[in-house]
Structure 1
Amino acid sequence: MFTFLHSFFAWALLAASIPLLIHLLTRKKLKTVAFSTLFFLKKMQKAKIRQIRLKQIVLLLLRTLIVLFIALAFMRPTVKTSGYEFGKKAKTTAVFIIDNSLSMAATSQGESLLTRAKRKAIAAISLLEKGHDVAIIELAEPARIVLATTYNGNDARLSSVIQEIKQTASGSSLFSAVQNAFEFIAGKKNLNSTVFVFSDRKFPALPEENIAGFDRTHFFFFDVGLEKIHNLTVTEAELQNQIFELRGVVGVQARIVNTGDFDEINRIVTLSVNNKRVAQSSLTLEQGAEKAVDFKFVPAETGLHQLNIEVENDQLKLDNNAFCLFSISEKTRVLILDSNKKQSRFIKYVLEKKGKANQFEITEIKPDGLSNTDLTNFDVLISCNVAAFSDIDLRRLEIFVRDGGGLVVFLGDDVDFRNYETTIFQRFHIGSVLETFGSTLEKTEIIRLGDFDFHHPLFSGIFNEPEKQQRIDSPVFHFAPKMLPNPDSRVLMNYSNGSPLLLENKLGVGVVFTNLTSVDESWSDFSYKPIFAPIIDRMVRLAGQHGRNEFASMEVGKPAVTRLRGESSASFSLKNPLGITMFLKPVVDDGKFKFQLADTRFSGFYQLFENENIRYTWASNFNVQEMQSKPVPQEELRDFLPDANITMVSRQQNGNETVTEQQFGTEIWHLFLLAALIGLFVEMLLYRSKPIAVEN
């Protein structure tokens, strides 16, 4: 179909009549006068007269066509290739999807890809007409509509919204962004729709589920990516310790991948703790290679430690960091339940020995005092030979563990196995006692230690080479129960007959260690063996540090939730990694304040404050898939959007011209202008040509 983009220039077609008017106005009617000396002109042949008249007609026609072609060229004629109706002919929905995900932070000559995308998006505003419905969507996860309006010709407003889009460390979410676009387009019900996507197209694997319904929608993917960059990505920062002590060595391992296109030589990697540099290393990495970098340092103070592993600047700075957290308590608060202090004396001796007396705060009560004790004042509860638990006590213990407390259970002569079977063992999914063997009276050797789970942090540092066969001074057990462990239980130690001796169960954010033996010498000589002290020490530390730390890790762009106890009159606020503070209004949930973080699109540390005190901290790290993704090819995009018309706009193309050609057709104004120039040249030659002589 033939159409014009600037049809308002149609009035210029009237100029084509100018040559004809000039010709008519300049014609003169000559008066016949007899002149004898020119009598010989009567002999001019009729052919000569016809030639002159024909030349005049051709010149008139050429001049008319020249003016006509010039006027048509100004009207920008196009040959339409589709049934798309745009501009004033039909109301249109236009959606701008701008990629502000992690990979768009890459820079070239001082300009980031996001800045480039914004510039192209602002330029595309000129394609809009008044009355078009417009939406602007951020592509970074979670994708969201930042503006939905009807275009009134105010380019400044749209430009301002686009310029205010911030760079994030989130992964890209094309699926969510396209869904938002689909809902916006469907709600407007306009005849046509156009979606402009400004991105480097580094989308993680597209879902198998496609999005249909874009049969009258044209997608334009503007490529703003870089061909080659220098880039190292810190994919992970992992603590090598499970137990953290003041002036104890802490190990940290960082994994670094060369996601760029060049080999990197002698790049500096640093470890900072609470914004202080404590270690440094150099790194050489080939293109596409991955390497682990290990650091060690000694913490000199208690409290929360925020770790930041960073490589030196390259073309993409946002993936140069990885973050993690740990905390060192001033003291681990331990509550011991023991009816006669017969067993607890061995445990207290281990925890109170020289060098550790200031690390544990021990409170000892009898089992009947449990109901009057506030468990929130303790980190670990050790049950020694407690005969039975009431339903109320069991409920309080469950809440204690779910909230992050550690429970350590030892059996004894007073234990009622029937009660434990329906209370402790069942409530915490530990297992079921099948039978007992041996006797506490005869004290004969019936069994010894069996296998260990050396991969568990409980045994880290106790054995020098856990992979090799260990020679352990094994205790002699006179009496032991045989248990069938629950599938949720992790068996850490076995008896020599394969029956569990020590089990670990996790509940909520807390942990339960169940020792199927007693500390009393009537059951075994375990408390007199060298292995006893380090196992008890590490078990109590692990139980105390497992869930009481008020911090967590999360992925950038994903929601984060925590529940805390607090004062009803307290004021809560959140400080994000950019240093921006915002007030939070918690929701009361099961007697606690529930906090949910929705906007987590930056990597670093998020801190939750109660009044002026830090109550909770999150370490936020990006999804490495974003940096390991390659640009999605056009074929996959067509499979993802089967009904849409898709056009790829390369970095070298003029985006607006490409969009115009696809929507309105191919412009052919240059052909009309060329025809006008040719006509001028022919007219000049014809006008200057001499008449052909006619023979007598």
Structure 2
Amino acid sequence: MFGFLNSALLWAMAAVALPLLIHLLTKRKLKVVAISTIAFLKRLERENIRQLKLKQLLLLLLRMLIVALLVLAFARPTLRQNSAALAQRARATAVIIVDNSLSMAAAPEGISSLALARRQVQAIADIFSPGDEIHFITAAKPATLLPGGPFVEADKLRDAVQTLPQTWAETDLAGAFALAREVLEKSRNVNRELYVLTDGRAANLPALSEITGVRGYVVRYTKPLPNNLTLTGATLGNQIFERGKSFEVTAIVANNGANDVQSQLLHLYLNDKRVAQQSVAAPAGTQRSVTFRAVPDTTGFIAGRMTLEDDDLPADNTQYFTFYIPPHRRLLAVGERPADLVYVRAALQFSAANNHAATQSWKEITTKELAAERLQSYDGILLANVSRFPEGAAERLINFMDGGGGVIVMPGSEVDLRHYNEALLSRINLGAFGETMGSLSRSDNFMQIGRIDFSHPLFDGVFESSADKPRLDSPQFRFAVQLRLSSGATSIIDYSNNYPFLAERRVGNGRVLLFTSSVEEAWSDFSFKGIFAPLLYRSVVYVAQSRDNLQETATVGSELTNVLRIPAEELSVELPTGEQLKTPVQVLGQNYQVRVTETAEPGFYQLRDRGQALHTWAVNFNAAELSTAPVAEEALAAAAGVTSLAALSAEGDLRAQIEAARYGSELWQIFLIAALIAMAIEMLLYRSTATGVASGKGKTVELSQENAGVA
């Protein structure tokens, strides 16, 4: 559709008549003069006057055309892209969505995409007139409509944009579009516009029904990063953490840049002290795993982080992790009678005396005393030959494991297998005891150890390093119980007949280890073998550290939870910035649950009670935000609820692009060039006409004199 931006100037089109008026007013009237050579003059008129009049007519038309072209050029003609013309004098409602998610921190040319977006929003603000309503929405999760709007003055919008923060959150364009739709549908203004400034890295964008009468514009920041390694994760895996003993942490490094990386340093820090570094090489588009081994020299919560050297996106160069090394282990041993704990006590006391990584306290009770014991006061509980659980004890054990406690179950001659199946095993989905194997009366009929999962943390460091498979002096098991495992439970050690000897199951934030044979001499010689003491000791250490080492690493924006076993009086959370937040506590059965929702930044969040650290969470950015492919223009427009989004270049004159998209392509340059060309043609034609007239007059005089002489 053809239109004009300065249509008020079209009245000047009347000036097209000026050349015609001048021509009519200056037209000369010829007098009739009698000349003897009339025949000659008539012949001259027939040859020249027609050509002269034609040139004069062309000059007249050219001059009228020049005036018309100049008027049209100043009226700024446009070729509209659609029929919905802008009501220029009506008020407008505009919604500006700026993506301030993590991916907008990318700086391919030294300045971040968000910094460019801030500048361009200020350029957009200049387009609006006083009285127009401008709403501002940030697209970092959760999408937020900026308070204080609508802005009716451009200066207030500029101030708001200048303070727009760079966040670590993922993109929430779907939420931003929903907020924009709500604003635009409520607006009564004739002109409604939607501006989106984003890199388009968004997942799960549902299409919205179209909002009629809304024009959409998008500025996309899609320049690739030349050099960018991303730390997508730091994995600790399943292992036992002890002071003075090495542990492993694996970093996942992805090259999301356009260039190959030949060598970039990756550093490992424990409690802000650098303990290791490695050089990373990764071709573009590939992923590498880098494993560190380090030795912690303290107990308590260990704050670890991995950091890459700076590149084009420093925000994705750090991953945080944490683990807990108990300075003291509190153990509860429960037996049907004191004799059931003799071998267990001796093995644990011997191992603890030879291991100074942590101290431990040990309390023994009988089955009857279990009901009165406060389980939350312990890190681990060992059940040896407990026949039946007192009323409510099984429920308390399950709650204990849910809260992060560890339990070791060892059967004996007094155990009621059916009761165990009903009261405990079925409720934690570990499996079920079946038939017994072997005979207590025959010593020549026994089973030995078959398969062992030597990769399990229980065996890390137990055997000497060797290229060959570790050799084990297997116990002889004369009597045992079959165990049918449920899905999710794993077998660590099997008998030679493939039934489990030692099985594991994760229960909430805790663990349970279940043996299927006893340390009683009638059952086996297990307690007399060299594997007994280290296996039992490491089992205790393994389950006792469950509470603070089984929680997954959280991402920015997610909720942090922790279960406390004892009440706390003055709980607070220390944020990565050092700020302290008071934290409420919810009662959860026999435990106390803490929830933290303020997780806007990556780093360490520490739960404290009167200055004492109770728990530490590691929070990282969501790596999926950086690996998500930009959505197509059509999908973005469909999610925004508009027919189309006019693409605006992030590098060009944004105002000119918006006006061209609003009103169409401006044609004034074409009309101005056409006017100049017409002027040049008019000048040449005028000169040729003037020369022709002068030449014609000369010839007429000369011929007239010759004819007069003849006469």
TM-score range, shorter chain: 0.7 to 0.9
- Secondary structure, aligned partner of 2:240: coil
CA deviations on 1:109-136 (whole Å, 9 max, x unpaired) are: 4311211122222212233345544333
Contact 2:215 2:642 in 1 (8 A): no
Aligned to 1:301: 298
Distance 1:568 1:528, change over 3 A: closer
Counterparts of 1:228 and 1:648 in 2: how far apart (Å)?
Answer: 21
Counterparts of 2:2 and 2:165 in 1: how far apart (Å)?
Answer: 43
Counterparts of 2:645 and 2:468 in 1: how far apart (Å)?
Answer: 61
Aligned to 1:247: 244
Contact 1:552 1:618 in 2 (8 A): no
Q: So what's the TM-score if we normalise by structure 2?
A: 0.84
Greater Cα shift, 353-362 or 678-687:
678-687
Q: So what's the TM-score if we normalise by structure 1?
A: 0.86
- Secondary structure, aligned partner of 2:274: strand
- Secondary structure, aligned partner of 1:318: helix
The 5 Å alignment of 1:528-543 reads 528-543=528-543
Distance 1:65 1:39, change over 3 A: closer
Contact 1:135 1:147 in 2 (8 A): no
Aligned to 2:584: 586
Aligned to 1:177: 176
**In the TM superposition, what is the alpha-carbon distance from 1:89 to its structure 2 partner?**
5.8
Distance 1:175 1:464, change over 3 A: farther
Aligned to 1:656: 655
**In the TM superposition, what is the alpha-carbon distance from 1:383 to its structure 2 partner?**
1.1
Contact 1:451 1:494 in 2 (8 A): yes
278, 282, 286: which one aligns with 1:289: 286
**In the TM superposition, what is the alpha-carbon distance from 1:604 to its structure 2 partner?**
2.3
Aligned to 2:625: 626
**In the TM superposition, what is the alpha-carbon distance from 1:655 to its structure 2 partner?**
3.3
Aligned to 1:34: none
Counterparts of 1:514 and 1:82 in 2: how far apart (Å)?
Answer: 74
Aligned to 2:143: 143
Contact 2:6 2:76 in 1 (8 A): yes
Aligned to 2:510: 510
Distance 1:279 1:87, change over 3 A: farther
Contact 1:454 1:466 in 2 (8 A): no
The 5 Å alignment of 1:123-272 reads 123-147=123-147, 149-152=149-152, 154-188=153-187, 193-203=192-202, 206=204, 209-214=206-211, 216-239=213-236, 242-272=239-269
Counterparts of 2:69 and 2:555 in 1: how far apart (Å)?
Answer: 62
Greater Cα shift, 63-72 or 266-275:
63-72
How many correspondences in the alignment? 683
Counterparts of 1:362 and 1:405 in 2: how far apart (Å)?
Answer: 15
The 5 Å alignment of 1:556-567 reads 556-564=556-564
CA deviations on 1:501-527 (whole Å, 9 max, x unpaired) are: 222222211111121222222221111
Give the gaps of 5 or more residues in structure 1.
Answer: 31-37
Aligned to 1:122: 122
Counterparts of 1:310 and 1:139 in 2: how far apart (Å)?
Answer: 28
Distance 1:255 1:12, change over 3 A: same
**In the TM superposition, what is the alpha-carbon distance from 1:156 to its structure 2 partner?**
1.9
Aligned to 2:80: 80
Q: What is the one-letter code of the residue matched to 1:521?
A: E
Q: What is the one-letter code of the residue matched to 1:293?
A: V
Q: What is the one-letter code of the residue matched to 1:583?
A: L
338, 351, 357: which one aligns with 2:335: 338
CA-based RMSD of the aligned residues comes to: 3.9
- Secondary structure, aligned partner of 2:370: helix
- Secondary structure, aligned partner of 2:432: strand
Distance 1:282 1:40, change over 3 A: same
Give the gaps of 5 or more residues in structure 2.
Answer: 705-711
- Secondary structure, aligned partner of 1:111: coil
Q: What is the one-letter code of the residue matched to 1:493?
A: I
Aligned to 2:498: 498
Counterparts of 1:449 and 1:230 in 2: how far apart (Å)?
Answer: 53
Distance 1:651 1:366, change over 3 A: same
Counterparts of 1:378 and 1:566 in 2: how far apart (Å)?
Answer: 11
- Secondary structure, aligned partner of 2:426: helix
Counterparts of 2:161 and 2:638 in 1: how far apart (Å)?
Answer: 29
Distance 1:245 1:320, change over 3 A: same
Q: What is the one-letter code of the residue matched to 2:301?
A: L
Distance 1:596 1:176, change over 3 A: farther
Counterparts of 2:383 and 2:400 in 1: how far apart (Å)?
Answer: 14
Counterparts of 1:381 and 1:240 in 2: how far apart (Å)?
Answer: 24
- Secondary structure, aligned partner of 1:423: helix
Counterparts of 1:51 and 1:438 in 2: how far apart (Å)?
Answer: 129
Contact 1:502 1:516 in 2 (8 A): yes
Aligned to 2:420: 420
Greater Cα shift, 395-404 or 657-666:
657-666
Counterparts of 2:175 and 2:305 in 1: how far apart (Å)?
Answer: 31
Distance 1:215 1:526, change over 3 A: farther
Greater Cα shift, 545-554 or 230-239:
545-554
Distance 1:442 1:57, change over 3 A: closer
Greater Cα shift, 60-69 or 522-531:
60-69
Matched, 1:365 2:365: yes
Distance 1:459 1:92, change over 3 A: farther
CA deviations on 1:263-311 (whole Å, 9 max, x unpaired) are: 2233222111111111122233322333322222221111211111111
Aligned to 2:708: none
Distance 1:109 1:469, change over 3 A: closer
Q: What is the one-letter code of the residue matched to 1:503?
A: A
- Secondary structure, aligned partner of 2:497: coil
- Secondary structure, aligned partner of 2:519: coil
**In the TM superposition, what is the alpha-carbon distance from 1:243 to its structure 2 partner?**
0.8
Contact 1:4 1:77 in 2 (8 A): yes
Aligned to 2:707: none
Q: What is the one-letter code of the residue matched to 1:525?
A: D
Greater Cα shift, 310-319 or 485-494:
485-494
Aligned to 1:387: 387
Distance 1:681 1:433, change over 3 A: same
Contact 1:435 1:481 in 2 (8 A): yes
Q: What is the one-letter code of the residue matched to 1:509?
A: N
The 5 Å alignment of 1:1-16 reads 1-7=1-7, 9-10=8-9, 13=12, 16=15
Q: What is the one-letter code of the residue matched to 2:555?
A: E
**In the TM superposition, what is the alpha-carbon distance from 1:338 to its structure 2 partner?**
2.2
Aligned to 2:107: 107
**In the TM superposition, what is the alpha-carbon distance from 1:251 to its structure 2 partner?**
2.1
Q: What is the one-letter code of the residue matched to 1:532?
A: F
Distance 1:611 1:129, change over 3 A: farther
**In the TM superposition, what is the alpha-carbon distance from 1:384 to its structure 2 partner?**
1.3
Distance 1:302 1:316, change over 3 A: same
**In the TM superposition, what is the alpha-carbon distance from 1:324 to its structure 2 partner?**
1.1
Counterparts of 1:189 and 1:500 in 2: how far apart (Å)?
Answer: 73
Counterparts of 1:218 and 1:341 in 2: how far apart (Å)?
Answer: 82
Aligned to 1:35: none
- Secondary structure, aligned partner of 2:338: coil
Q: What is the one-letter code of the residue matched to 2:261?
A: E
Aligned to 1:355: 354
Q: Percent identity between the aligned chains?
A: 32
Counterparts of 1:466 and 1:455 in 2: how far apart (Å)?
Answer: 14
**In the TM superposition, what is the alpha-carbon distance from 1:155 to its structure 2 partner?**
1.2
Distance 1:134 1:559, change over 3 A: farther
The 5 Å alignment of 1:440-589 reads 440=440, 443-463=443-463, 471-549=471-549, 552-564=552-564, 570=570, 572-575=572-575, 577=576, 579=577, 581=579, 583-586=581-584, 588-589=586-587
CA deviations on 1:178-202 (whole Å, 9 max, x unpaired) are: 3333343334476664332223334
Distance 1:108 1:215, change over 3 A: same
Distance 1:50 1:128, change over 3 A: same
